[in-house]
Amino acid sequence: MAVKIDGRTFQGNNVSIINGHVTIDGKPIDGQLNGVVKIEIEGVLQSLATDADVHCGDVQGDVKAGMSVTCGSVGGDVDAGMSVTCGTVAGDVEAGMGVTVHKQR
């Protein structure tokens, strides 16, 4: 699957962005990110982890964010430091503040 981060395109299914460092499928990506980072995903991610906010579509595995998560359906767990707004979640949902789940019919 194609993952575009600040204009650079990578192939991978598992994305982690922690302290400005990017890891895709367990491999570190050269360079550090600063400021607002734009990530574009073509397809469904396996997992996503970041220390910032997450706004994404469907994720097959887990979503972990230091701030808030806004996403489609999640096949695993969702863990956020602030709030979660999402579609159907197969696993557990943990948030520091509030949770809104929109179940798919």
Higher pLDDT, residue 42 or 74: 74
- Give the pairing type, strands 27-28 and 21-24: antiparallel
Higher pLDDT, residue 93 or 7: 93
Residue 21 DSSP symbol: E
Say what the pTM is.
0.81
Q: CA 36 to CA 93: how far, in whole Å?
A: 26
Give pLDDT, residue 91: 94
Compute CA distances 56 → 23, 28, 40, 82, whole Å: 17, 21, 9, 16
Give per-residue pLDDT as tens, 46-105.
Answer: 999 988 888 888 999 999 999 999 999 999 999 999 999 999 999 999 999 988 888 755
Give pLDDT, residue 1: 77
Give pLDDT, residue 83: 94
Report whether pLDDT(5) > 70: yes
Question: 55: closest CA among 11, 85, 33, 98?
Answer: 85
Host domain of residue 18: 2-101
CB 57 within 8 A of CB 24: no
Give pLDDT, residue 104: 59
Domain count, the chain: 1
Report whether pLDDT(38) > 80: no
Give pLDDT, residue 36: 73
